[in-house]
Chain A
């Protein structure tokens, strides 16, 4: 994990063009430019380490670790930087993954798009799940995985083979994205259903306890009201009880809304990034096959 965190921090500093250097073993210093000071709590020089012992000894050194606010801030900032990359497979051209194909003699790049999603299930507890949907734009094939798609740079390069043309699939990326979202929703449907069942059960449990409590209080007050005529200042007492009853109803509305909100299932889907994968291909799918989207 520490290595991952190091990579994130250093990549972030590189991206934000913040110079840094290791001043002694395990301790780095970053010179924060004016424009970035606000992000770093107005410090101009940030000493940081990934080593807890070092940070314990020198409390002026910022510890960047799981659960540190600086790391969280960096991740949050990165998450709002939508990124899309395009990479080219180094493999030899392949035939399209369709039964009906027209084999041609010239190779070209066909595109696949990998959408990486983060799904946050929010209801009492937060739970994040990561998914990737890889869509073959040429053949409309969608595959979903319960982890992010990682580009293997041994297999791909950022520069295309100049001898290969990048072919347009003709497929609409917006529609493809929406299909990918639909695929994702199908995938998380069971999770949502289970979460909803759980939250409904919890909500009903809580609301029942609360309603019973209010009803009993109400009955007690009504009973008191029945006997109020024995009281010397019964009209005052009656008014007082009426006011308490009204308060109870107010409380009922307020608390019910609070509980509804608390147990409402909320799922948010964010597209972390996307990678366009260009695959060297020989041949095209028959037009009939190309129009039909089949999900695997």
Chain B
């Protein structure tokens, strides 16, 4: 067979003569031409310097000119083969009888130094071209050979043959795997339940093929940035271009991300609670806050990631924050940052985001300001064409209008409800109480006053349901904390609440639910109201799933599954609004209205987003002449909240240029107005400000369009 005659040759080959030897090196005299012909036959003394286990091993020799020579050592037969020994021989004018030293450099990597002891001085003129031709490409250091290659050789040497079917199978696998590098996205072929849209596929391809895996994905909200990121990360995994991946997302979205990656992309990501060490798993998802904590950040920074995904990347808008510094310090080959609002208040925010992705791409802050910022408005760019061109190399942004996706319509129905007399009386009593007590906030002298937050809470509870209010009042009185007239007032209101026979809102809710033979989500802010609604619905025989913040993650997931599969109604508190996709439902009832409009937007966003095929109905229940009705009017009439694109609201509110949130402003109006008329007037002024903010937003949107879309 092929190797049978090696023994004869080895026997005939002249053994080299060892001159000296120690643990790390040996010096020998070359005899015969075997070395020149690419062989090094070892005598038993020399074998100690090559104490390897395998029958065949790869060994590297580095010569005096730092060229490396790859050899294969046949342990059993005691010789090495190296094709470039010949070139070394000729280059160094080695002769029969020359003395050579082999010295161990790195035992683990099997690297040795090859040195000619009695070397002749080099000639002045070296034919570089000739040497270059000889030593490249065969000594190209960028090429590495799999260690398993030698196993194939060993099998030939040992005559260990496998059936052709097995050899063919390995080959067929290689052929299929080779197709993995084709232009099509492999990730698309194995995704489930993903209605991939053209813009998403395009984004994934552009990021991988043109942007070298570092990009800001800034699609408008609701266009499926998570899907785009999922496609890219799965593609990198399938192509073998990424193994170690970290996703940083707000804590509230971790479960949602995990679930989407599992169900849609068949990827199991572990969250920070499921690992002992940040190096434990190749695929980890964590909140930015957890990862950047003092306990964790050094570990995270030491790891070399292939891909890092940062969701809600606008949290990195400020270069001076820990968030920015931490993410900037993470070592990653590819980086995706996801945000719908790359510019919230200031163009510099965009600059800061891009500085993490590709530092210097937009030059320095100073130069960026000079080149692109107008003095008048920090959000309005100049030279927008140039900026757009620069951004196209790092950022992808799609608008809904670009995608040609038909988004289902949103219908808003507001039920303006007349409260029952007893409800109205209680409402007025409570509102007066709050106005009166607001000026007697707790002080050093009078620490037992009622605090502002509690007053606001009472007002909100009343706006939600008398049941929720009664529960709270009951607890306050039982705490024995409130004395004197506080206590008297609280008791009076509790009596009034308990005496309310029927809730008008509750009646209207039942009428609406009766008229719908569909899945419905009912949102409320308070557990007390939730209990009341659930009890009422169940008493009428409806199947109800209950979702609230006190449930564990597993309970929450099960609740959503139950709602998806069997229950008709989901009654959810605010926590149910965070990040969970409920597109299979098309009716949403706001039993009460949060004063924070962002919360309302989150509620709507759960059902009115990509993947929703039907028109969506938002039903608002609002009691006439209450604070909630003023808030509703403000949000609906002045800024069209219920018709805004998800994500747009924050941008509008940002234009109010107020340090206080809209909710804080509303609270101030409610608590600091001495009477209803003043309150109404203040709400009207606020309405005008909101209208102005909406106008500014329209202007800025136009400007952003100019930056990002060149219109």
Selecting from B363-371, B395-403, B464-472, B667-675, the interface stretch reads B363-371
Given contacts A173-B2, A270-B148, A272-B171, contact A213 B153 (CB under 8 A): no
Given contacts A11-B165, A74-B173, A137-B2, contact A264 B178 (CB under 8 A): no
Q: How far is the CA of A143 from the CA of B189 in the complex (A)?
A: 37
Question: Interface readout for B178-203 with A: 1 if CB under 8 Å, 0 if not?
Answer: 11110000111110100000000000
Selecting from A29-37, A174-182, A226-234, the interface stretch reads A174-182
Q: Is the CB of B190 within 8 A of A185?
A: no
Q: How far is the CA of A58 from the CA of B610 in the complex (A)?
A: 24
B contact residues around A79 at 8 Å (CB): 170, 173-174, 177
Question: Interface readout for B377-408 with A: 1 if CB under 8 Å, 0 if not?
Answer: 00000000000000000000000000000000
CB contact list, A2-39 vs B, under 8 A: 4-5, 7-8, 11-12, 15
Q: What residue of chain B has the Cβ atom nearest to residue A41's Cβ?
A: B268
Residue A158 interfacial (CB < 8 Å): yes
Residue A68 interfacial (CB < 8 Å): yes
Q: How far is the CA of A72 from the CA of B152 in the complex (A)?
A: 22
CB contact list, A124-143 vs B, under 8 A: 124-130, 137
Given contacts A67-B187, A148-B175, A272-B170, contact A172 B6 (CB under 8 A): yes
Residue A210 interfacial (CB < 8 Å): yes
Q: Least Cβ distance of B215 to chain A in Å?
A: 14
A contact residues around B9 at 8 Å (CB): 170, 172
Taking a contact as CB atoms closer than 8 A, the residue among A15, A177, A196 that contacts B72 in the complex is: A177
Q: What residue of chain B has the Cβ atom nearest to residue A59's Cβ?
A: B192
Q: What residue of chain A has the Cβ atom nearest to residue B331's Cβ?
A: A258
Question: Interface readout for B5-17 with A: 1 if CB under 8 Å, 0 if not?
Answer: 1100100000000
Residue B513 interfacial (CB < 8 Å): no
Q: How far is the CA of A166 from the CA of B4 in the complex (A)?
A: 11
Given contacts A116-B171, A174-B81, A274-B156, contact A8 B176 (CB under 8 A): yes
A contact residues around B144 at 8 Å (CB): 266-269
Q: How far is the CA of A199 from the CA of B249 in the complex (A)?
A: 33
CB contact list, A77-112 vs B, under 8 A: 78-87, 111
B contact residues around A75 at 8 Å (CB): 173-174, 176-177
Q: Is the CB of B169 within 8 A of A15?
A: yes
Given contacts A84-B152, A262-B333, contact A66 B189 (CB under 8 A): yes
Taking a contact as CB atoms closer than 8 A, the residue among A65, A83, A170 that contacts B167 in the complex is: A83
Q: Is the CB of B152 within 8 A of A168?
A: no
- B residues contacting the other copy or chain, number (CB 8 A): 79
Selecting from B238-246, B424-432, B488-496, B696-704, the interface stretch reads B238-246
Q: How far is the CA of A113 from the CA of B144 in the complex (A)?
A: 22
Residue B168 interfacial (CB < 8 Å): yes
Taking a contact as CB atoms closer than 8 A, the residue among B152, B190, B361 that contacts A65 in the complex is: B190
CB contact list, A160-198 vs B, under 8 A: 166, 168-179, 181-182, 185-186, 188-189, 192, 196
Residue B1 interfacial (CB < 8 Å): yes
Residue B541 interfacial (CB < 8 Å): no
Q: Is the CB of A168 within 8 A of B170?
A: no
Q: Is the CB of A67 within 8 A of B238?
A: yes
Residue A285 interfacial (CB < 8 Å): no
CB contact list, B576-602 vs A, under 8 A: none
Q: How far is the CA of A111 from the CA of B56 in the complex (A)?
A: 22
Q: Least Cβ distance of B309 to chain A in Å?
A: 18
A contact residues around B367 at 8 Å (CB): 216
Q: Least Cβ distance of B201 to chain A in Å?
A: 14
Selecting from B106-114, B134-142, B222-230, B553-561, the interface stretch reads B134-142
Q: Least Cβ distance of A260 to chain B in Å?
A: 12
Q: Is the CB of B151 within 8 A of A85?
A: no
Given contacts A85-B167, A173-B153, A272-B171, contact A168 B209 (CB under 8 A): no
Q: Is the CB of B179 within 8 A of A255?
A: no
Q: Is the CB of A4 within 8 A of B172?
A: yes
Q: How far is the CA of A251 from the CA of B360 in the complex (A)?
A: 12
Q: Is the CB of A168 within 8 A of B1?
A: yes
B contact residues around A186 at 8 Å (CB): 137-138
Q: Least Cβ distance of B679 to chain A in Å?
A: 48
A contact residues around B333 at 8 Å (CB): 258, 261-262
Q: Is the CB of B171 within 8 A of A126?
A: no
Question: Interface readout for A224-253 with B: 1 if CB under 8 Å, 0 if not?
Answer: 000000000000000000000000000100
B contact residues around A273 at 8 Å (CB): 152, 167, 170-171
Residue B449 interfacial (CB < 8 Å): no
Q: Least Cβ distance of B252 to chain A in Å?
A: 27
Q: Is the CB of B142 within 8 A of A267?
A: yes
Q: Is the CB of A264 within 8 A of B2?
A: no
A contact residues around B360 at 8 Å (CB): 209-214
Question: Interface readout for A258-295 with B: 1 if CB under 8 Å, 0 if not?
Answer: 10011011111111111110000000000000000000
A contact residues around B18 at 8 Å (CB): none
Q: Is the CB of B146 within 8 A of A276?
A: no
B contact residues around A258 at 8 Å (CB): 331, 333
Q: Least Cβ distance of B673 to chain A in Å?
A: 46
Given contacts A15-B169, A151-B164, A174-B74, contact A272 B174 (CB under 8 A): yes
B contact residues around A67 at 8 Å (CB): 180, 186-190, 238
CB contact list, B113-138 vs A, under 8 A: 136-138
Residue A155 interfacial (CB < 8 Å): no
B contact residues around A65 at 8 Å (CB): 189-190
Q: What residue of chain B has the Cβ atom nearest to residue A175's Cβ?
A: B81
Taking a contact as CB atoms closer than 8 A, the residue among B2, B143, B208, B213 that contacts A171 in the complex is: B2
Residue B637 interfacial (CB < 8 Å): no
A contact residues around B74 at 8 Å (CB): 174
Residue B38 interfacial (CB < 8 Å): yes
Most chain A beta-carbon neighbours within 10 Å: one of B146, B151, B157, B240:
B146
Most chain A beta-carbon neighbours within 10 Å: one of B136, B161, B208:
B161
A contact residues around B151 at 8 Å (CB): 82
B contact residues around A272 at 8 Å (CB): 170-171, 174
Q: Is the CB of B149 within 8 A of A271?
A: yes
Q: Least Cβ distance of B483 to chain A in Å?
A: 52
Taking a contact as CB atoms closer than 8 A, the residue among B5, B136, B190, B239 that contacts A126 in the complex is: B239
Most chain B beta-carbon neighbours within 10 Å: one of A84, A118, A196, A209:
A84
Residue B657 interfacial (CB < 8 Å): no
Q: Is the CB of B162 within 8 A of A83?
A: yes
Given contacts A216-B364, A268-B146, contact A118 B178 (CB under 8 A): yes
Q: Is the CB of B143 within 8 A of A267?
A: yes
Residue A63 interfacial (CB < 8 Å): yes
Q: How far is the CA of A7 from the CA of B174 in the complex (A)?
A: 13
Q: How far is the CA of A176 from the CA of B149 in the complex (A)?
A: 13
Most chain B beta-carbon neighbours within 10 Å: one of A125, A214, A272:
A272
Q: How far is the CA of A216 from the CA of B364 in the complex (A)?
A: 7
A contact residues around B366 at 8 Å (CB): 216, 220
Residue B93 interfacial (CB < 8 Å): no
B contact residues around A55 at 8 Å (CB): 192
A contact residues around B153 at 8 Å (CB): 173-174, 177, 271, 274
Taking a contact as CB atoms closer than 8 A, the residue among B83, B164, B177, B189 that contacts A179 in the complex is: B83
Q: How far is the CA of A273 from the CA of B140 in the complex (A)?
A: 23
Residue B3 interfacial (CB < 8 Å): yes
Most chain A beta-carbon neighbours within 10 Å: one of B70, B136, B149, B163:
B149
A contact residues around B213 at 8 Å (CB): 124
User: Hey, which bits of chain B sit against chain A, CB under 8 A?
Assistant: 1-6, 9, 38, 56, 70, 72, 74, 81-83, 136-138, 140, 142-146, 148-149, 151-153, 155-157, 160-181, 186-190, 192, 208-209, 212-213, 238-241, 266, 331, 333, 358-361, 363-364, 366-367
Extra inter-chain contacts (8) besides given A148-B174, A271-B152, A272-B171, CB under 8 Å: A15-B166, A83-B155, A83-B170, A148-B171, A151-B164, A175-B83, A209-B358, A270-B148
Closest 3 interchain pairs by CB? A213-B360, A67-B186, A270-B146
Q: List 15 A-B contacts (CB under 8 A).
A: A67-B187, A85-B162, A85-B164, A124-B212, A124-B213, A158-B163, A172-B81, A173-B2, A173-B156, A174-B56, A178-B81, A220-B366, A271-B148, A273-B152, A273-B171
